[in-house]
Amino acid sequence: MEAAGVGLGVVSTIDVCIKYGKTLIAICNDFKNADTEVQELLLLVRAVWARIERQVLVLRRTASSLGDEYQYIQSRMLAILQMRLLELIKIIEKFAKSSSFERKLTYALYRKETLQKSVNDLETWYRRWDPSWFLIARLSGVEADVEIRRQKSQDSARRKPVNILGDLRDAKRANEDAQCDLIGFLPETLVFCSPSPVSFSTATVSVRSDNHALAVLDNVQYTPGTSEAEVSRDIQKLARVLSKLDPITCSLLACSGVRKNMSEGTLVGFSLVFQMPPAARVVSGRILPPQDGQETKAVSSTRSLRDLLLNRTSAPSLTSRLIIARSIARSVIFLHSASFVHKNIRPEIVLTTDSGASYLVGFSRFRPAAGYTYMLGDTLWNQNLYRHPTRQGMVPEEMYNMHHDVYSLGVCLLEIGVWTSFVQYAIGPDGKEAILPGLHEIAAVPQMRDERKRAFELKRVLTGVASERLPNSMGDRYCEVVLACLTCLEKGSGVAQSNALSDDDDGVVMGVQYIQNILEKLEEIAV
């Protein structure tokens, strides 16, 4: 890797980008008498650059403490930003210098398309770069905090990326601090009315009695024998993190609080209470937030990914499937950036909206990434299907780590790619619901006394299905992503555990490898 002097390279590249950004904004401000469509595009340029500028200033402050791999990926991405900014400067300058008549004629013919494409390219770059920037949350140094505090003092807007980063860093410290402040439990007087279960999901949509707003309730069962105090503390920490995140940026729903579920005075579980997903824009097959100044409205309905897989008469377009895949992949890196592992990723816990935006729920098995994992399992084949072989069975072999979430993601991405539900629900001869394999290759895996051997055979089958079927249905690049996920615990894989990762105390190296081998490749797929 060409890492020598990359730290200084990151700083100098950021300085050039800031210079170009200021030039771009000055040109936008000097562009007088533009028609409505041009004004809207220039407004969008200003809004996107404002976010980028704040975030690269934080990155500049932390450059000296970044590892070689992280600096390398930032140098690559920032070099692309330079090109995007220069393209926009040239296009807007040329257009601004033309006469009013030429401007109308030229813009009507082809300038509009060129300018729109360049603005979309800048937004797309930002969308791809954003997750790598949020890995700063996992750094242990204090350099980022100085810049975050400075920017917070200037703009306290809760959903700004810099403020979200500050909250993530606070959450990381909270996970390590037994005395941290926690989000309180919702009052028992708060009632959730008209519950409507989300099909094939643990989530329920209900109406809050206090403000009559729709809410998503995600139930987390309490396992007798585990520490009630420890579980309560962990779920309050998770709720605190999820209350700070921007749903469209992170593909995780905003949490409003936690409710204790009691039965005859005994704790039986908890409910994470989420706001309904917000409406979003779709640009070039990517989910983007509403433009600044536009009202953000919540959607009125949502479906589980399992429901979509089971009840679509035909497969959705490649673009639609990519939107879902990218959303789920983003949610994993943001959850890991907040120092949590999910432990339960499968289509039943993915909520989707009409736009294709998808959100992880189903936090019944979550834990802090550095926390103790109870070595408890089960024999439910339809859940073991999404677990790495070393995490299957009643007594899993390995402690859970972030790589196991990546494996589960790979199975989900495979399912999205072939658009066949790997799990089918039917009524058996006895009148009871039966859960059956939905893919003949899975059904053909023989029963074995050695559960571990069968688990690895199932993994081999899934890898084979990916290699044989995904290139034709989703393309080679998507196939590479799925295989990277399914082999993420094997040495030689781009996101595999290795000696380098054993020293990765803050999880940044793992995050960088995940972004390079999974997120970036998903974003690079052109439809």
What are 359-407's pLDDT values in tens digits? 999 987 776 655 545 445 567 888 889 999 887 765 565 677 889 999 9
| Start-end of CATH 1.10.510.10 domains in the chain | 280-524
Which is more confident, 360 or 491? 360
Mean pLDDT for the chain?
Answer: 82
Q: What DSSP line would sit under 150-199, residue for residue? A: HHHHH---TTSHHHHHHHHHHHHHHHH-TT---PPBPPTT--EEEEEEPT
Instruction: Give the start-end residues of each E strand in 236-388.
Output: 255-263, 266-275, 281-283, 286-288, 303-304, 340-341, 350-352, 358-360, 367-368
Question: Which pLDDT band, with edges at 50, 70 and 90, does 289 fall under?
Answer: low
Compute the average pLDDT of residues 472-485. 96
Q: Is the distance from CB of 412 to CB of 350 less than 8 angstroms?
A: yes
Task: Provide the pLDDT for residue 67.
Answer: 80
Token pair of 496, please?
């595999």
pLDDT at 357: 86
* Percent of the chain predicted with pLDDT > 70: 81
Interval 415-423 mean pLDDT:
96
- The larger pLDDT score, comparing residue 495 to residue 56, is at 56
Please write the tens of the pLDDT for every residue from 298-328. 667 789 999 999 987 788 999 999 999 999 9
How many residues appear in the chain? 527
- In angstroms, the Cα distances linking 348 to 1, 199, 200, 373 are 40, 9, 6, 23
Burial of 78 (0-12, 13-18, 19+ CB in 10 A): buried
Is pLDDT larger for residue 148 or for residue 491? 148
Strand, helix or coil for residue 15: helix
- Mean pLDDT of the region 255-276: 90
Q: Lowest-confidence range among 16-20, 84-88, 222-226, 249-253?
A: 222-226
pLDDT of 426 over the 90 cut = no
Query: What's at 522, amino acid-wise?
Result: L
Any idea what the Cα angle at residue 335 is, between residues 333 and 339, rounded to 5°? 105
Least confident of 120-124, 157-161, 348-352, 523-527: 157-161
Q: What angle do CA 246, 247, 253 make, to 5 degrees?
A: 120
Alpha-carbon torsion angle 206, 212, 215, 221, nearest 10 = -60
Asked whether residue 346 carries a pLDDT value surpassing 90, the answer given is: yes
Residue 4 has a pLDDT of 41
Q: Model-level pTM?
A: 0.85
Q: How confident is the model at residue 83 (pLDDT cuts 50, 70, 90)?
A: very high
pLDDT value for 181 = 63
Query: Is the confidence at residue 96, as pLDDT, over 80?
Result: no
C-alpha distances in Å from residue 447, one per residue of 389, 428, 457: 15, 20, 10
pLDDT confidence of residue 502: 39
Residue 59 is predicted with a pLDDT of 92
Fold of 280-524: Transferase(Phosphotransferase); domain 1 (1.10.510)
